[in-house]
Amino acid sequence: MRRIGKPYVTLDCRYDDPIAINAAAVVISHELRDQAYVDRDLEDVFLNYQAACTGLVIFTFGSDHAWYARAGEARRTHVPYKIDPSTQRLPGIPFEALSPTVCSKTGPTKRFSNLHQRLPPASV
């Protein structure tokens, strides 16, 4: 695959999809996991994403703890911020609630510190 040098974030791509593999961050919701990885151990699926993807891997679980890590890192968890669902731009995916904290940590994810501010607003 030809690299264009532009970092991007993708949502709900399978771990063997070139879009997920080359993304700066891949966010996976329970909707995709429930459809694509039925009867699979979630920890095993997360490890598959870490092994295949070059960027940050984030599994969301609604208002429950999210999982995130890069390849070779230990999986970490984060409780998303409480938000008003009527203001949520990505229905079903609490990405806006998750990204400011996960992406503002120092270290490997520091370059995503204002990612949520740089993304164009999604149409509702």
For residue 116, give Cα distances in angstroms to 39, 48, 65. Answer: 32, 26, 19
Distance, CA of 26 to CA of 49 (rounded, Å): 9
- How would you classify the pairing of strands 76-78 and 56-61? unpaired
* pLDDT tens, position by position, 27-76: 999 899 999 999 999 999 999 999 999 999 999 998 889 999 999 999 99
Paired strand residues for 69: 57
Percent pLDDT > 90 in the chain is 52
Band of residue 112 on the pLDDT scale cut at 50, 70, 90: very low
- Bigger pLDDT: 69 or 83? 69
- Bigger pLDDT: 19 or 97? 19
